[in-house]
Structure 1
């Protein structure tokens, strides 16, 4: 294995590249394949007290997620106590350095594309919406999920992505046959994005919620609920923490939160997501574990949600 570390100092952003084998971008120039520290697919990291205890003590991220305490001490527009001042800018810097390729979208784990899409297809078969006019791909990157999962099922797919270079590549990646069915492409972070009201039969959110603070996560889920069409479904697919690896009991009991300084993201436990669904009046209608991923990686969980209209509240 060839390891290459590049420290790119820009706006206090440190970018880590780990190359593990070679491939060719052209017929003449071999280059290192990129497997990043940080990014979408990750190996678990150990929490350290000096990195995480400050966040936990302020109950911004950790165990338990004390939503009432958060509301008493800060408004939804404020940054959580304990969240680094450069939390969002550092993530933006990180992703701006990532190649606009499938390899880049998958942190170098390109071989996991097939099992990822296969399990997502089966999940939608079981829990997806009955109407398939309009979908939204959140954290879309170059459109890997849009092309392989959503466009085969939905008439129109919108994309929201922070990194402009990824959106610039979408037409070439998706191809001339399917790209005309890509609707709007929003270049914006999810913390600032509001889905058009009542538009989407499906809102797909994968490997991106770790880039939101707890408050921003709650606010975004509420806005997504109001972006659903009648009978619409939200699907969340995320890494989750588990001290015992892929053991189901460990997953169910985990309250551990990991913060990745490389890409400025949190990996949360399943319990934190369940609490956030309850607080935003989203009803859990389906849940599955991703299969056929290496046991050395974080467990990946899929959640299907609908808006609980009986507890309907105004978005914040």
Structure 2
């Protein structure tokens, strides 16, 4: 059920973050576990993410394949926020960027990513750090990342903590770096899931929080090819309105 915008008291329930950690600690460390049984969407949604970011990492080409607009960002270092077992890193970010840091709240997921799912990439020097923290606590190193990517995780943050997270992320970007958001979008207001302490926000609410955090929306797109009956999935590319000093 969609909730109206003034029903944000759901965020104030005791144990909002600890309940989420407890929920995910019971989920299997598998792709299906990360996606609630919809592991089959991995290839199509990873392709959608790469296409969405392509103009920023490869530039835009015109007639006769001549480069019209150069790439905006380097492909040296990305950060995968809410990484789970590293699914997004493996199927998207590591296909574009040389190195990735993973931030994940659930200890067993980050351990599985390090020891199993991304073990080869770690041995090959493609992984920087495995960081076991909730995003409400994560503070990126200053000017470290070309892209900070947040996928299917921001619903676990309260509005206030989401704004603060974005503000910290701005400091973690290299010059011209971007923040990417990919998430479910409600038709109206908020839709709360009390089982896993998460919220699905409307497009309007997301954009209001971007603005409040001092972020400018550069691009948005809908992820196509998702199963029927699920929330719409949108992608947003964001830059700081003013670069941190």
Show CA shifts across 1:186-206 (max 9, x none).
101000111111100000000
Deviation of 1:279 after TM superposition, in Å, equals 1.4
Matched, 1:157 2:86: no
Rounded to whole Å, the distance in 1 between the matches of 2:94 and 2:48 is 16
Matched, 1:93 2:30: no
Alignment-derived partner of residue 178 in structure 2 = 233
Rounded to whole Å, the distance in 1 between the matches of 2:77 and 2:32 is 27
Mapping 1:166-177, distance limit 5 Å: 166-171=109-114, 172-177=116-121
Alignment-derived partner of residue 25 in structure 1 = none
Matched, 1:115 2:44: yes
Across the aligned residues of Structure 1 and Structure 2, the Cα RMSD in angstroms comes to 1.8
Deviation of 1:313 after TM superposition, in Å, equals 6.1
User: Is residue 10–residue 192 contact of structure 2 (8 Å, CA) maintained in 1?
Assistant: no
- Equivalent position SS for 2:27: coil
- Equivalent position SS for 2:131: strand
Shift in alpha-carbon separation, 1:123–1:164, aligned structure 2, 3 A:
same
Moved over 4 A (4+): none
By percentage of residues, which structure has more helix? 2
Alignment-derived partner of residue 63 in structure 2 = none
Q: Which blocks of at least 5 consecutive residues in structure 1 are unaligned?
A: 1-45, 62-79, 243-253
Alignment-derived partner of residue 306 in structure 1 = 239
Show CA shifts across 1:260-292 (max 9, x none).
011010000001111111112211111100001
Mapping 1:143-222, distance limit 5 Å: 143-171=86-114, 172-177=116-121, 179=123, 180-222=125-167
User: Is residue 170–residue 244 contact of structure 2 (8 Å, CA) maintained in 1?
Assistant: no
Show CA shifts across 1:207-237 (max 9, x none).
0000000100100010011110001011000
Rounded to whole Å, the distance in 2 between the matches of 1:292 and 1:160 is 27
User: Is residue 151–residue 178 contact of structure 1 (8 Å, CA) maintained in 2?
Assistant: no
Alignment-derived partner of residue 263 in structure 1 = 196
Rounded to whole Å, the distance in 2 between the matches of 1:143 and 1:195 is 18
Rounded to whole Å, the distance in 2 between the matches of 1:91 and 1:268 is 17
Rounded to whole Å, the distance in 2 between the matches of 1:115 and 1:83 is 36
Q: TM-score, normalised by structure 1?
A: 0.69
Q: Which blocks of at least 5 consecutive residues in structure 2 are unaligned?
A: 58-71
- Equivalent position SS for 2:92: helix
Alignment-derived partner of residue 211 in structure 2 = 278
Rounded to whole Å, the distance in 1 between the matches of 2:144 and 2:18 is 29
Alignment-derived partner of residue 6 in structure 2 = 56
Mapping 1:12-23, distance limit 5 Å: none
Matched, 1:295 2:204: no
Deviation of 1:154 after TM superposition, in Å, equals 1.2
- 2:81 corresponds, among 138, 141, 163, to 138
Mapping 1:28-67, distance limit 5 Å: 46-47=1-2, 56=6, 61=8
Alignment-derived partner of residue 126 in structure 1 = 55
Q: TM-score, normalised by structure 2?
A: 0.88
